[in-house]
Copies of this chain bind each other. A is one copy, B any other.
Amino acid sequence: MFADLLYEKIEKMENPTVMGLDPRIEFVPDSIRASSGNDAEAIHIFNLHLIDALCDIVPAVKFQSAYYELLGPAGAIALQKSMAYAKSKGMVVVLDAKRNDIGSTAKAYAEAYLGDNHYTADALTVNGYLGTDGIKPFIDICKSNGKGIFILVKTSNPSSGELQDLKLKSGTTVYEKMAELVNGWGRDIIGNHNYSSIGAVVGATYPEELGMLRKMMPKAMLLVPGYGAQGGGAEDVKNGFDNNRNGAIVNSSRGLMCAWKAAKFNGKYTHDQFCEAACEEALLMKTALNAVI
């Protein structure tokens, strides 16, 4: 089951990092673009290099669906192939697509990404605005097929509070209510390490809320975006972890994909050395996270 798969992979690699592959074509070096038939193929090759370079350091990879959809049908092929490749290299594969719909349609999304059809994700991000019957088809397939979902609770973006932080008459906020729903949805799909395959997304950019939500959802694996390019650091994410340095996985996308041009490397790497730079950055991130959790 997904919760155990992710927990054990994090434990084995002693690294609660997920590499975000949200590539724009301008992230890909000219050398790869020149030898590729189109942008989607170039991005796929770029992904393969990063997966090869980081699969022994980082336990999981998160594909951001939007950047593949932007490339049309060729992007769907690139996504499919890159996901399958990451899986073949032993990485836990998360598709970040934030899908949501009424029950019958949610079932189609669940089958599409968690049903061993064309795409091979271990887990999918999901938006819970529609309530239980929009989430249930995903839970059903998590149970039957050993998969997982991460439900948006408190997102990392600056205006996430406009709706999510609103106070309800009952005294809690909207995101706390969502956390309560996540607890209920995940209740009967708990693995050997006492975590559920129904996890939650909580942004690194809100460290206080992250700590509170860690306590409120003791069985939810937390997917934590917002590290690096969005402003979160190791100190900001430490509240998301349990006493076993587990229970959360921190995403870095541009921080890894575009590490070669980070100011801290002071011109050490060229664009063609994006993999070497990503490796160095992944090791720095691993050290930084392990120092605080």
A binding-site residues for B, Cβ under 8 Å: 22, 24, 64, 66-67, 69-73, 75-77, 80, 98-103, 105-106, 108-109, 111-113, 117-119, 127-134, 152, 155-164, 166-170, 174, 177-178, 181, 225, 230
Set of chain B residues within 8 Å of A131, measured between Cβ atoms: 157, 159-164
Query: Is B70 within 8 A of A73, CB to CB?
Result: no
Query: Is B72 within 8 A of A80, CB to CB?
Result: yes
Set of chain B residues within 8 Å of A24, measured between Cβ atoms: 108
Set of chain B residues within 8 Å of A72, measured between Cβ atoms: 76, 80, 112, 117-119
- Give the Cβ gap from A43 to chain B, nearest Cβ, in Å: 12
Query: Is B70 within 8 A of A80, CB to CB?
Result: no
A105–B70 Cα gap in the complex (Å)?
A: 10
A112–B24 Cα gap in the complex (Å)?
A: 12
A181–B168 Cα gap in the complex (Å)?
A: 17
Query: Is B101 within 8 A of A163, CB to CB?
Result: no
A100–B17 Cα gap in the complex (Å)?
A: 23
Query: Is A118 within 8 A of B157, CB to CB?
Result: no
Set of chain B residues within 8 Å of A80, measured between Cβ atoms: 72-73
Number of copies of this kind of chain in the complex: 2
Set of chain B residues within 8 Å of A117, measured between Cβ atoms: 70, 72
Query: Is B159 within 8 A of A134, CB to CB?
Result: yes
Set of chain B residues within 8 Å of A167, measured between Cβ atoms: 168-170
- Give the Cβ gap from A14 to chain B, nearest Cβ, in Å: 29
Please pick, from B70, B73, B152, the residue contacting A129 in the complex, using a CB distance under 8 A: B152
A117–B71 Cα gap in the complex (Å)?
A: 8
A113–B69 Cα gap in the complex (Å)?
A: 8
A177–B158 Cα gap in the complex (Å)?
A: 18
- Give the Cβ gap from A40 to chain B, nearest Cβ, in Å: 10
Q: Identify the closest chain B residue to A81 (Cβ).
A: B73
Query: Is A71 within 8 A of B118, CB to CB?
Result: yes
**Residue of A67, A76, A106, A119 with most partner-chain B CB within 10 A:** A76
A135–B149 Cα gap in the complex (Å)?
A: 23
Set of chain B residues within 8 Å of A101, measured between Cβ atoms: 64, 66, 98
Of all A-B residue pairs in the complex, the 4 with the closest CB atoms, nearest first, are: A72-B118, A131-B162, A131-B159, A66-B108
- Give the Cβ gap from A188 to chain B, nearest Cβ, in Å: 18
Set of chain B residues within 8 Å of A127, measured between Cβ atoms: 98, 100, 127, 129
Set of chain B residues within 8 Å of A112, measured between Cβ atoms: 66, 69-70, 72
